[in-house]
Structure 1
Amino acid sequence: MATRQKKNKAVRRALAVGAGLATAGALVAALPAGASDTKGGGGYGHGRYVDVQLLSFNDLHGNLEPPTGSAGRLTHLNEDGTTKTIEGVGGVEYLATHLRQARQGHPYSVTAAAGDMIGASPLVSGLFHDEPTIEALNKLKLDVSSVGNHEFDEGARELARIQNGGCHPTEGCFEEGRTFEGADFPYLAANVTDEKTGRPMLDPYFVWEKDGVRIGFIGVTLEGTANIVSAEGIKGLKFGDEVETINKYAKVLERKGVKSIVALLHEGGAPASGAYNYDCDSPGPGDGISGPIVDIAKNVTPQVDALVTGHTHQAYACTIKDPAGKPRTVTSAASFGKLYTDTTLTYDRRSKDIVRTAVASANHVVTRDVDPADDMSDLIKRYKALAAPISGRPVGHISASIDNPQPDPKDPAIGIERPLGNLIADAQLEAMAPADKGGAQLALMNPGGIRMPLTYAQSNGEGDGVVTYGEAYNVQPFTNMMWAVDLTGAQLITTLQQQVSGANLGSPKILQVSKNFTYTLDLTKTGADRIVVDSVRLNGEAIDPAKTYRVAMNEFLTGGGDGFAVLKEHKNKLVGSSDLDVFTAYLGAHSSASAPLAPPALGRITIVK
């Protein structure tokens, strides 16, 4: 098997149609240059038009096992305008079955992804640096994926290893006699370039071909990736403008005779409804969706026939007009493998282009009422057995599920203050409050660092309230180090304002705050004015702009992550334990089987709407 996989990679590289691309200096290992792959062959079939099935998904984040709690739910919009909740969706065992069933009867079928396949992953994948997820995607027959910001969680060197294979540089191989072979599919990173040479660090595009039908894929991540990943791992890399990059490589593909083009873009939007089947083309094309993807789609060259997007974890299948005023399909399949998108691209053999008027697309639920794929089940069992000595260790007890609600387009107040966010912030404050640990007076936690809820009752029937190390890991998989730093009161207020302004104006990043730190968020206003400055208090006393406060936060935030530039101005840092260690220690100290921890009350952020 290993020999055959290596041979396939060699063939793919030999078939590359792109110009030779140098690596990003010493940043990454040599990666395959160019971008072509031949699928199938032998004969051209009959008829002028060919329906090509494009199956796509995004933001899997290593969720091999079925996601639990709110992470495993979808909202369905009924014909009468009411909604219902669909429980128990997702899981790679079921995604594999659905994709394999969907491909039946479609001789021309290509599977693509729009980034964040790995990173921020549950323990069964994250503990092994996401090698299990790459193995699963290989088994899924994924043809191509763009990178997302989370592909850079462990830095550019590690992403190179994920693509090319090889044992982990410090932890080695995880199973005796088994070497990680890397991804059988190309990761595309057209807008991630070496600052010195300007050349992409990975393939910029890929050409899928079968029986003379050729479709080009251009892959980019969001331009703001550098603001939401650790700076250390991406030194020497530049993240370029999405539109400029896509338009550049669309011309390259056109010159090579590839006229059918799909952009895989790890950036997205927010539909007006959180229902996966909401019609975001009502009353007209793209009228029901907002966010960065709208402006991008309106400016990407008409040479591109469809955009597969991600990053926002939303579900939509819209049409947004291109610069020529022609409707163009733009899709996203939520996250965690809960949905997949099935798009029909009608290919004209004569023009070698997609007939846009014939493009149809829809999202489909990954239900668990189908037989799980045996090969995926075996893979999960194998890695769970390796992880068992660590993952099954009890670290605490809860009396009920402690949720992590996500933003809801229908109600902007939802997802602002989260019970699990309050719990984590309190844990961080307690760990960093002692004088010899940092002397913290308050703690701030970024919402994106909270990946899963703590679920009391699992879908498999487990419901004893025991929190295992594996479950805690799934909540905080980044293992960022905790810092205690000096910030002035003025900087604290600016931090709160940057939640809803600047880089976060269109997509607020509301920090979770520790107990006794309170303020009012006025949703009737816009930008920085949403923060009612006079309401910001610590232990009941107004924040003094001239005073210095000790603040606990993770290293991602102290580096200015998530658009909080002011946090980089901190002083007098003291580094503590990892956020995961702090979280598990708090659970152990504040709960037992006879006295389980209850979900924290809300009310730290007063919302005006």
Structure 2
Amino acid sequence: MTPIRLSSLGAWSIATTLAAALAACSTAPPLPPRPVQLRVIGFNDYHGHLEAGSQTLTLPDPGKPGASLRVNVGGATAFAGLVKSLRDGAPHSVLVSSGDMIGAAPLVSTLFRHESTIDVMNAIGVDVGAPGNHEFDAGSGELQRVLGGGCAPNPAGATTTSCALKHYTGARFPLVAANVERAGGGSLLAPSWVRQVGPVKVGFIGAVTRWTPTIVVPSGVAGLRFIEEAEAINRAAAALKAQGVNALVVTMHEGGVIGSAEQPADWNDERCPGLRGPIVELAQRITPDVDLILTGHSHQGYRCVIDGRPVIQSFSYSRGLSATDLFIDPATGRVDRARTRSRNLPVLNERTDAAQRTALVAAQPAPWSAALREAKPDREVAQVVAQFSAAAAPRTQREVGRIGGSFERGERSAKVDSPAGRLIADAQLAATRDPAKGGAQLALMNPGGIRSDLLCRGTPPCAVTFGDAFTMQPFGNSLVVMSFSGAELKALLESQQPPGHSGAHLLHPSASLRYRWVAAAPHGQRAQDITIDGAPLRPEATYRVTVNSYLAEGGDGFVLLKNGRDRLGGELDLDALLAYLGSTPAPAAAPRIHWVE
């Protein structure tokens, strides 16, 4: 091959052209740096629901505007699969809990002192979380053990077992709470946590509802103070900003609701029709420096945009996940809120109807449709759940009684007592009627303590397992019988709607107590025509009343119960229910509280 030779003139021409090109490049403005994308995957109120069971969600029907679908969802295996799919679709991701990961849980979690749930959360890859009120059920000392690891004592005859399968090593993620302080000074948990994401830092600030002391047994929060959430969050945000952390996320165990029982709202409708609850004021008071607010506690699904930032929650019990993409300027470390995108997604599982799955996936916008479509059950997590389920099975599957129909909880805000509430109250009265056990004349049950329905599947009478009963009553509260005058009992009933509150929080009564609730009447006159065992309430008479130990200490705001006299402790609430199931109870036909608008 003959080599090509350039004349001196040609060489000079090429050199000049190259020099000009290089000069032009050197004077052109540099391209702006690409934003850093962080996907924040959120969940709340998991409550140890490792197994899918019969969990469902009611979602808008993509093919029929105004209609809805009841979809089988949930369980740790499918939950982990959707988390992995969401992580695969983003360069950086963080998995965040907004509280109540443990507590008030099914047997597969509670039986093992929730070590099973933490092991599964480790396998899924939780990065950070906030405590919920139920993290304090067994006290701050037990919370510290659950986080730090180690085996709890296993006394003879105890319902629960620690280190049942192996030595428990604790959580591989922190819980953060800016608003929980020790009474003697200092914080129980770190207020925040910082994640390095490429060249930028992102701060995560935790908080739990300030009302935790009113909804947790007092021994669980002894020695702690719970300060106002926004105040604590803003203080933590200022500290992070001073450290140069400009992208901020709040994970908070407090929330709200949207829609109504008559007209449920779409959990992805950014308009959030009818949004109400503590989150409304909190979102307005939390510093504008916060870019995303993950919420919990109300067990609702919503995706609101308030003041240009998402405020989001994804139902409960492993049924949903939220996903939010934040795009962060690498030069300033600040979030470009105009580019933020978010979505609530159902945790579709092996029981989800194939046609429903196809329709729901197709209805999701990009990139969420791909994440939902590509999600597969996580085998590693399935193995962990299977080990604990097998260990719990002998106790879970044991038949303990039969029922003559389904006992359902209904809505906690319902205007009447529920079949499930009536069942538990009747069981507690039956366990304490004997004069030697307290001589109770009536029993009252808080709706929040009823954690599941007791369903009759098939033709009655239907078998009930220990697992069914335990899931309904998982707290291990003891029964307490105490005395009140008739006047005090009426005041207690009137306290179900304190002055200034727009709705009533009704306790569920045993069959021996009946009355009318006149919603339009002034405070102090709403509980009318009260009868005990068919006889009108006498203000001067003394009545023996049974409640669980949580209520007896003023739980759920019923502080008047702390004034009960001549107290006598009794058996566990679960044992009372188990004994009552031996009589094959059937659902009562009518409520015991007659609501009048």
Residues 113 and 162 of structure 2 are in contact (CA less than 8 Å); yes or no, is this contact kept in structure 1?
Answer: no
TM-superposed deviation, 1:223: 0.5
Residues 279 and 288 of structure 1 are in contact (CA less than 8 Å); yes or no, is this contact kept in structure 2?
Answer: no
TM-superposed deviation, 1:601: 2.2
TM-score between the two structures when normalised by the length of structure 1 = 0.83
Counterpart for residue 537 of structure 1: 531
Q: Give matches, 1:496-507, under 5 Å.
A: 496-501=493-498, 505=501
Counterpart for residue 235 of structure 2: 248
Counterpart for residue 366 of structure 2: none
Q: 2:248 aligns with which of 239, 255, 261?
A: 261
Q: Give matches, 1:1-400, under 5 Å.
A: 47-68=33-54, 72-76=56-60, 82-170=66-154, 173-175=162-164, 178-197=166-185, 199-273=186-260, 275=264, 277-278=266-267, 281-282=270-271, 288-320=274-306, 326-369=307-350, 371-400=376-405
Write the letter of the residue equivalent to 2:209.
L
Q: Which protein shows a greater Rg?
A: 2
TM-superposed deviation, 1:279: 5.7
Give secondary structure in 2 for the equivalent of 1:252: helix
Please list the CA deviations of residues 156-186 of structure 1 after superposition, one character each: whole Å capped at 9, or x if unmatched: 111001110011134575346x211111110
Q: In 2, Cα distance between the equivalents of 1:463 and 1:127?
A: 29
Give secondary structure in 2 for the equivalent of 1:479: coil
Give secondary structure in 2 for the equivalent of 1:121: coil
- Give the direction of change, closer, same or farther, for the CA distance of 1:357–1:552 in structure 2 (3 Å limit): same
- Give the direction of change, closer, same or farther, for the CA distance of 1:82–1:538 in structure 2 (3 Å limit): farther
Counterpart for residue 567 of structure 2: 573
Residues 519 and 536 of structure 1 are in contact (CA less than 8 Å); yes or no, is this contact kept in structure 2?
Answer: yes
Write the letter of the residue equivalent to 1:215.
V
- 213-222 or 513-522, which moves further after superposition? 513-522
TM-superposed deviation, 1:521: 2.7
Counterpart for residue 513 of structure 1: 509
- Give the direction of change, closer, same or farther, for the CA distance of 1:48–1:273 in structure 2 (3 Å limit): farther
Write the letter of the residue equivalent to 1:168.
A
Q: In 2, Cα distance between the equivalents of 1:525 and 1:298?
A: 33
Q: In 1, Cα distance between the equivalents of 2:596 and 2:63?
A: 32
Give secondary structure in 2 for the equivalent of 1:316: strand
Counterpart for residue 588 of structure 2: 600
Residues 391 and 470 of structure 1 are in contact (CA less than 8 Å); yes or no, is this contact kept in structure 2?
Answer: yes
Write the letter of the residue equivalent to 1:277.
D
Q: What RMSD, in angstroms, separates the aligned Cα atoms of the two structures? A: 2.4
Structure 1: gaps of 5 or more residues: 1-44, 321-325, 592-596
- 376-385 or 299-308, which moves further after superposition? 376-385
Q: In 2, Cα distance between the equivalents of 1:365 and 1:64?
A: 16
Give secondary structure in 2 for the equivalent of 1:54: strand
- 484-493 or 46-55, which moves further after superposition? 46-55
Write the letter of the residue equivalent to 1:373.
D
- Give the direction of change, closer, same or farther, for the CA distance of 1:463–1:388 in structure 2 (3 Å limit): farther
Counterpart for residue 453 of structure 1: 453
- Give the direction of change, closer, same or farther, for the CA distance of 1:558–1:77 in structure 2 (3 Å limit): farther
Counterpart for residue 41 of structure 1: none
Residues 425 and 508 of structure 2 are in contact (CA less than 8 Å); yes or no, is this contact kept in structure 1?
Answer: yes
Please list the CA deviations of residues 342-397 of structure 1 after superposition, one character each: whole Å capped at 9, or x if unmatched: 11212122221112222222211111146432222212221122222322221111
Q: Give matches, 1:557-572, under 5 Å.
A: 557-572=551-566
Structure 2: gaps of 5 or more residues: 1-30, 156-160, 351-374
Give secondary structure in 2 for the equivalent of 1:135: helix
Give secondary structure in 1 for the equivalent of 2:417: coil
Q: In 2, Cα distance between the equivalents of 1:464 and 1:424?
A: 18
Q: In 1, Cα distance between the equivalents of 2:346 and 2:238?
A: 36
Residues 97 and 372 of structure 1 are in contact (CA less than 8 Å); yes or no, is this contact kept in structure 2?
Answer: yes
Q: In 1, Cα distance between the equivalents of 2:492 and 2:35?
A: 55
- Give the direction of change, closer, same or farther, for the CA distance of 1:371–1:362 in structure 2 (3 Å limit): closer
Write the letter of the residue equivalent to 2:243.
K
TM-score between the two structures when normalised by the length of structure 2 = 0.85
TM-superposed deviation, 1:117: 0.1
- Give the direction of change, closer, same or farther, for the CA distance of 1:569–1:317 in structure 2 (3 Å limit): same
Q: In 1, Cα distance between the equivalents of 2:504 and 2:135?
A: 23
Q: Give matches, 1:520-531, under 5 Å.
A: 520-524=516-520, 528=523
Residues 317 and 329 of structure 1 are in contact (CA less than 8 Å); yes or no, is this contact kept in structure 2?
Answer: yes
Q: Give matches, 1:428-447, under 5 Å.
A: 428-447=428-447
Q: In 1, Cα distance between the equivalents of 2:46 and 2:149?
A: 20
Q: In 2, Cα distance between the equivalents of 1:312 and 1:532?
A: 27
Residues 246 and 300 of structure 1 are in contact (CA less than 8 Å); yes or no, is this contact kept in structure 2?
Answer: yes
Give structure 1 regions of 4+ aligned residues with deviation exceeding 6 angstroms.
77-80
Please list the CA deviations of residues 515-564 of structure 1 after superposition, one character each: whole Å capped at 9, or x if unmatched: 031122334568x46x6332322223332233221000100001000000
TM-superposed deviation, 1:287: 5.3
Write the letter of the residue equivalent to 2:431.
A
Q: In 2, Cα distance between the equivalents of 1:484 and 1:89?
A: 41
- Give the direction of change, closer, same or farther, for the CA distance of 1:46–1:59 in structure 2 (3 Å limit): farther
- Give the direction of change, closer, same or farther, for the CA distance of 1:506–1:346 in structure 2 (3 Å limit): farther
- Give the direction of change, closer, same or farther, for the CA distance of 1:570–1:89 in structure 2 (3 Å limit): same
